[in-house]
């Protein structure tokens, strides 16, 4: 193999595929990136057997070939070079990288030892604005479980029906749901559970490579157990999670006897202050108290042997009676960080019912947090 290409293009491509490289792989070749020639370009692939990332960049190919080399070592070396043309040559079981004033030799592992990384198959399942999808992942992945004891909860439910895509995350303590419009309707409804970790990597890729109006294309592999996401020249594939997703609709309250609106900034500031004490409480708990007549929301943290604090903000459009329950302050902080507008709405049916939070200007996004009983 002998190719010539621009340092900056290779550095950027490596930064994409390295997202799929294990830091401590059980199989040595999984620490490597697969480099393959394709006429007027090279293809780079990496996988940790859970996700795979592939990208292609233009190159002058003098001699065809394919080989694997340490992804992190190659990336670090290429990033340290000056911008300009560099050359990659594979010979005598070594990959040599030449630049104007630097040369390096890398030991390799044969390409035949590298696992297969799925590529695009047939027509795409759906097309969606890339940044709309990235925002939806950001809003829903915070509610996905990190505990592997229930694998289905570590994924996001992806529902595709007509011209709407719905993402849902549930971890048993909170639920997050977002609807987004598709570029075109799908003929057949699809329901799959996609690992939240993989979708977070898709989100990162979108924010790294996409332009404002770029489209994300999603493919369901013919095997039906993998999904592929394509943005520009970068593809990320992931295994789907088998199992039954919880009936999340049952968690969503059908009625509410309290509703109010509050400033996002005021709520964020209050959470920061209250968390100074609440972070030391069991379950990161604080009392969430509403005085309907005065139009005030109070957050109160009381920690044995440490102390307590109380913070309040004004709320508006109050409909309902006085109310108090407990919430995990970290969950509240995670939720409010995903609200795009300047205000949010709270609804509940009572102290033992879930608390429902909306972005005041985005009814397609809903976040539900289970209450914590107060002693």
3-state SS class at 267: helix
pLDDT band of residue 221 (cuts 50, 70, 90) is confident
pLDDT digits (tens, 9 = 90+) for 318-341: 999 999 999 999 999 999 999 999
Paired with 85 in beta bridges are 6
| Residue 195 main-chain phi, psi, to 5 deg | -55, 130
Domain 252-369 has CATH 3.10.150.10: yes
Dist CA 195 CA 90 (whole Å) = 36
Contact yes or no for 177/366 (Cβ under 8 A): yes
pLDDT band of residue 233 (cuts 50, 70, 90) is very high
Average pLDDT, the chain: 95
Residue for token digits 């490579």? 209
pLDDT for position 223: 79
Fold of 126-249: DNA Polymerase III; Chain A, domain 2 (3.10.150)
pLDDT digits (tens, 9 = 90+) for 354-363: 999 999 999 8
Position 187 pLDDT exceeds 90? no
Fold of 2-113: DNA Polymerase III; Chain A, domain 2 (3.10.150)
- The structure tokens listed for 285 are 């708990």
Give the start-to-end residue ranges of the domains of the chain.
2-113, 126-249, 252-369
pLDDT digits (tens, 9 = 90+) for 7-55: 999 999 999 999 999 888 999 999 999 999 999 999 999 999 999 999 9
Dist CA 366 CA 357 (whole Å) = 6
pLDDT for position 42: 98
pTM over 0.75: yes
Identical topology for domains 126-249 and 252-369: yes
Contact yes or no for 5/88 (Cβ under 8 A): yes
> Left if phi > 0, otherwise alpha if psi is -120 to 50, otherwise beta: which for 178?
beta
pLDDT for position 222: 79
pLDDT for position 61: 96
> Left if phi > 0, otherwise alpha if psi is -120 to 50, otherwise beta: which for 93?
left
Give kind and range of the element (H or E) at residue 274.
Answer: helix 264-278
């Amino acid at each position: 193999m002998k190719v010539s290409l621009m340092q900056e293009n290779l550095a950027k491509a490596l930064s994409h595929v390295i997202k799929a490289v294990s830091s401590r792989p059980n199989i040595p070749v999984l620490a490597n990136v697969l480099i393959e020639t394709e006429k007027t370009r090279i293809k780079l692939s990496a996988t940790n057997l859970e996700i795979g990332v592939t990208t292609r960049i233009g190159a002058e190919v003098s001699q065809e070939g394919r080989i694997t080399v340490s992804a992190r070592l190659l990336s670090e070396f290429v990033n340290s070079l000056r911008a300009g043309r560099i050359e990659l040559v594979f010979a005598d079981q070594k990959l040599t990288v030449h630049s104007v004033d630097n040369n390096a030799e890398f030991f390799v592992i044969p390409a035949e030892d590298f696992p297969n990384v799925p590529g695009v198959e047939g027509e795409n399942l759906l097309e969606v604005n890339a940044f709309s999808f990235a925002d939806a992942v950001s809003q829903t992945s915070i509610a996905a479980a990190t505990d592997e004891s229930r694998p289905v909860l570590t994924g996001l439910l992806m529902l595709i029906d007509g011209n709407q895509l719905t993402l849902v995350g549930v971890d048993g303590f909170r639920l997050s749901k977002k609807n987004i419009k598709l570029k075109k309707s799908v003929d057949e409804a699809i329901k799959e559970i996609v690992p939240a970790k993989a979708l977070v990597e898709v989100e990162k890729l979108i924010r790294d490579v996409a332009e404002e109006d770029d489209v994300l294309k999603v493919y369901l592999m013919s095997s039906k157990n993998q999904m592929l996401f394509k943005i520009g020249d970068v593809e990320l594939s992931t295994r789907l999670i088998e199992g039954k997703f919880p009936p999340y609709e049952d968690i969503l309250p059908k009625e509410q006897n309290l509703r109010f609106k509050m400033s996002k900034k005021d709520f964020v500031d209050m959470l920061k202050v209250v968390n100074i004490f609440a972070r030391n409480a069991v379950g990161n708990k604080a009392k969430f108290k509403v005085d309907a007549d005065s139009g005030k929301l109070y957050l109160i943290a009381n920690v044995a042997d440490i102390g307590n604090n109380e913070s309040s903000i004004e709320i508006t459009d109050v409909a309902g009676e006085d109310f108090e329950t407990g919430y995990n302050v970290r969950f509240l902080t995670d939720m409010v960080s995903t609200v795009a507008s300047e205000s949010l709405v709270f609804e509940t049916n009572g102290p033992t019912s879930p608390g429902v939070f909306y972005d005041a200007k985005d009814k397609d996004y809903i976040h539900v947090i289970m209450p914590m009983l107060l002693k």
